[in-house]
Each structure stands twice: as C-alpha cells, then as structure tokens.
Amino acid sequence: MTVITRFAPSPTWYVHIWSLRTVLYNYLFAKKNNGKFMLRIEDTDRSRLVEWSVENLLLVLASVWLIPDEWPNNPWDKWPYYQSERLDIYKKYIDQLIENWNAYYCFCNSERLTELRNEQESLGLATKYDKKCRYLSKEEIIEKLKNNIPYTIRLKVPDNEVIEFNDVIKWKIKVSSKDIDDQVLLKTDWFPTYHLAAVVDDHLMEITHVIRWEEWVPSTSKHVLLYRAFWWNIPVFAHLPLLLWTDKKKLSKRTWDVSVESYLEKWYLTESIINYISLLWWNPKTTEEFFNMWELIEKFELTNVHKSWAVFDIERLDFFNAYYLKTLNLDYLYNKLMNYLNNYDKEFYNLLLSFSENYNKKIFDELKTRIKNFSEYKKYTTFFYNNSVIPNNELMINEKMKILDINMVKKSLNLSLEILKSKKDDFETMEEIKNIFVEKIQKADMKNGQVLWPVRCALSGEQFSPWALELIYILWITKSISRIEKVLDTI
C-alpha cells in the first residue's frame, strides 16, 4: 500500500501557522513512508470564497519547500482538485446513499430551522435537527419533489449505537450516535458539505492517512458512518492539537500576525520556520533541536506527536532564526537577503545595488550574528549607506570608557586618524586592524576603550552598532578617514 496524505483547505484567507503545521506533518509522514502528499481545495462554501487564496497558498508552500506531488492546475491533472468541479461525482454518491436508506430528503426551510435552534437554546438543549423529514413517506417525498420544494440531503445517523474509531495521536475515540446530528450532506444549491465531499474525495484519491486539526474530531464519527454506508475502507486518522499564544489564547485565523506570509515578510528563514513549527507538537526523542528537512523526514513519527496543545512563542522562533543566520553559508544568506529586499523593500534594495557586492557582503557578514531576522537589517545598516553621519558629542563622552570631556574625544580621534593615514593600503583582515590599533594605543599610554569608543560613534553616529575595528574593516580606510575628519571639524 502506498501512503497518501493530503491537505484540503478552504480558500478563505491567508495560510496561517497551524495550517502550515498540518501541511508539514502530512508532508513529513508521506515522505518518511515513500508515499505521496496531495493538495486539494475544498471550495464548496461559496459565500466564504476568497479568489486569491489558492494562488497565495501555492506560493507560500513553494516558499517553505513543501511542494505537493499533486495539486490544482498541475501539468498532468489526474482529476479535478477543486471540489466545485466535482459536483456530478458527489451527486452520484448522494443518490447511492438515498437508495440504500443511509440518507434522506429534508424539506425544512431556514425559518423553521432557526426557530427550532432558538427553542433548543432557550431550553438549554444541544442544537440539532429534530429529524422531522426523516420519517416522510415515499409518497410525501415524491409530492414535494414534484412541487419543486427546495431540499437538502441529510445523513441518517443510526439510533442507539456507539461509533468507534482509532486515532494515532488520541488513541481510541467513542461517540454515542444520540449525540450525532443528522448532518446535511448536500445543500439546496447542490453543493456538498465538507462531510460528504471529504469522504468521497479521500476514498477516490486513495488517501490512506487523514492528518488534520483536532477541531475535526467531532465530525469524524459522521465520516466513519459514511465510510460504512459505502462499504469503503476507513483511512487512518490523526488529529493534531491546537496552537495557542503565550497567553494561552487560541490563534485567530483572521489576523495577519498568524499568517505564514507575515513571517516571511519579517524575513524569518524557511529553515527556522520549518524547524520550529515541527517541534511545537512533535518529540524527536533526542536533545538535539536543529534539523534540516531531510533529517525531519528521517526522524518523523506520528506516534511521537503530543496530545496536548502547544504554545507559539516568537522568542523561540527568534532563537531558531538567529541560529540559522549564524550557521548558514554567507553567499546563500546574502542571496536570500537580496531576494527579500527585492520583494518587500524595493527602495532599499536599489540602494544596495549601487554599492559593490563585496561591500554589502562584508556588512551582512558582520551583522548576521546580531540580528534575529532580516527585517532588522535596514535598521542596523543605515549608516553604512549614508555618508551624512551626524556626530553626537554627548554620545562620544563616556565615563565608563574613561572619556570625560571633548578634549579626550579629539585626542582619541586624532590618534585613530594617525593610525589610518599611516596605512597605505586597506586592511586585509580584522586581525591586522586589531594588532595595529592595540599596539599604537598602548604606545600612546591610553586604554583601548578610550580610543575605540569615539571612533565607533564617529563612524556610525549610533549608540548601537558593530565595534570600531569592525566598522573600519567594512568601510575601508578612505571612508573611515573621511567620516572621522568630518566629526573632528564639527567639534
């Protein structure tokens, strides 16, 4: 048997974080078992349809390397992947259910159903259909159909029966049929509900494992009844626990801050997003925290997914992102940075193109160990691309560095100018800069901080920046001399 998993979202919004978790686990499980991962679109609720959602979904999945083996509008199109294109298929199986007395016509209009629900709520009862149309005679049904009375098709749930199914994560689940509503399977517009469409599609597409949110646990008993009614094999179910914020509140689907794209725009690396999301519910049975995609595929087991909810913590995501910024190849990261800026900050991207790639890479190589994500890059690099650094006399005076007045600042900056002007060519390494400055500072009977702090402030104009020698290495000698001389002219 070939393992086949699927992700079947409704195209109603951006791809959110826990949808990514569902995709990831379906993908990892399929690949771990040399199987296939499929994308299907459940667009039968036309009132909630958002036109751009599917395109956005495919772009996001490509951005995080989770490419399905089959997807909508793929070059070979084995079958329609949009449920709205499969209505004739669902009608065929609805007719089969009615013929076998496993479903029935319901002619109740929305007014009656609303009145029934309000009455049940006022009495503190569970809101469910009262089965009024379940016992209509054949003659009554024919008459109503002849009169073109709108209808839905409902599942005929058996009385006084316990529905059981196994769940890989939550173990055996039992539900009494008296607690299961006679669910609508086909709506008045002839579009199926999720319950019918999901079961029919999963069977026809040979889905072996249904891995989805735990919100679908109450519906699974209805799906089991449908599988039984059709005499089909029941897939393996695995319901994934909820995702909460650090304040233990459920993540809202309708906020931008839970969309995967928002984290791509803040420029978190794909490596860190996938690594962090994988560990929110899954225990790899090791103390190791950092895994690439191939390692995740090798180690992933559904049986090691936690049963309880997990907390989405931005600080933990920052931790993973900082790790990958420090450890991944510089050229690889630089290309990602430029792609990010090209997509999300065109003006700054064009500014960087006006400088040499070597210069840009030196800056990035220094800063990549100091930032948590690429959205911070611009904030910490403005002074590298701006020749108008504004000196701050108060900032350069620093008691901790034993710089007590502006005369000490001038002395330190003049010494640094003397050192830089004595060097005919640019420094080749950081070590070379360090050795020369330390030697000259000692000969001047001064402390390293007394000289390097004013230099740092003169070169960056900022309180927080790379250290003085690192700035000199990036800016080169000519630009460093120019900036220090401008500061001296103003003080």
Question: How does pLDDT run across 170-192, given as a tens digit for each residue?
Answer: 888 999 998 999 999 999 988 99
Q: Is residue 73 part of a domain?
A: no
For residues 141 and 24, give the distance between their C-alpha atoms in angstroms, rounded to a whole number: 47
Is the domain of 90 the same as that of 216? Answer: yes
Task: Give yes or no: residues 235 and 252 share one domain.
Answer: no
166 CB neighbour count, 10 Å cutoff = 12
Q: What is the mean pLDDT of residues 438-457?
A: 88
pLDDT digits (tens, 9 = 90+) for 472-483: 888 888 888 888
Q: What is residue 388's predicted lDDT score, i.e. its pLDDT?
A: 66
The reply to whether 209 and 110 lie within a common domain is yes
What pLDDT, in 10s, does the model give residues 347-400? 999 999 999 999 999 889 888 888 887 778 887 887 888 776 676 777 788 878
**Residue 490 vs residue 354, higher pLDDT:** 354
Same domain, 298 and 425: no
Query: Both 351 and 300 in a single domain?
Result: no
Does 408 share its domain with 298?
no
Mean residue pLDDT across the chain: 88
pLDDT tens-place string over residues 145-170: 999 999 999 999 998 899 999 999 88
Q: How far apart are the C-alpha atoms of 271 and 25, rounded to whole Å?
A: 15
Measured between alpha carbons, how far is residue 382 from residues 146, 377, 457, 464 in Å? 75, 9, 14, 12
Strand 4-7 versus strand 36-39 pairing type: parallel
Helices in 280-345 by DSSP H: which ranges? 293-299, 314-327, 330-344
Residue 420 pLDDT more than 50? yes
Question: Phi then psi for 245, rounded to 5 degrees?
Answer: -75, 175
217 in any annotated domain: yes
Q: 148 and 211 share a domain?
A: yes
Tell me the CA end-to-end span of the chain in Å, nearest whole number: 79
pLDDT value at 260 more than 70: yes
Question: Is pLDDT of 248 > 80?
Answer: no
Band (256; pLDDT cuts 50, 70, 90): very low
What is the structure's pLDDT at 138?
93
Smallest CA-to-CA distance from 163 within 224, 246, 217, 206 is with 224
Range of the domain at 363: 329-381
Quick check: is 481 in a domain?
Answer: yes
Is 195 part of a structural domain of the chain?
yes
Q: What is the dihedral of CA 5, 230, 173, 131, to 10 degrees?
A: 130
Give the per-residue pLDDT at 204: 96
CA atoms of 43 and 404, how far apart (whole Å): 70
Is there a domain that residue 387 lies in?
no
- Whether the per-residue pLDDT at 246 is higher than 50: the answer is yes
CA torsion through residues 46, 48, 50, 53, sign: negative
428: pLDDT strictly greater than 80: no
Q: Rounded mean pLDDT of 5-10? A: 92
Enter the DSSP assignment of 52.
T
The pLDDT assigned to 156 comes to 95
Name the pLDDT band for 11 (thresholds 50, 70, 90).
Answer: confident
Note whether 366 and 410 are same-domain residues: no
Residue 252 lies in a domain: yes
Q: Is residue 324 part of a domain?
A: no
Last residue of a domain, one of 240, 261, 287: 240
Q: What is the arithmetic mean of pLDDT over 204-223?
A: 93
Do 300 and 367 sit in the same domain of this protein? Answer: no
Q: Are residues 369 and 400 in the same domain?
A: no
- On whether both 157 and 179 belong to a single domain, the answer is yes
- Report the CATH number at residue 122: 3.40.50.620
pTM for this one?
0.84
Give me the DSSP letters along 208-242.
-EEEEEGGGHHHHHHHHHHHHHHT-PPPEEEEEPP
Query: Per mean pLDDT, which range of 49-63, 282-296, 392-406 is the poorest?
Result: 392-406
The total of structural domains in the chain comes to 4
**Domain end (from 281, 311, 341):** 311
* Contacts (Cβ under 8 Å, ≥6 apart) of 390: 461
- Looking at residue 471, its pLDDT comes to 86
- pLDDT at residue 160 in the model: 87
Q: What is the CATH number of the domain that holds 401?
A: 1.10.10.350
With respect to residue 78, please indicate whether it lies within any of the assigned structural domains.
no
Same domain, 41 and 103: no
Rounded Cα gap, residues 227 and 425, in angstroms: 78
- Domain finish residue from 311, 338, 367: 311
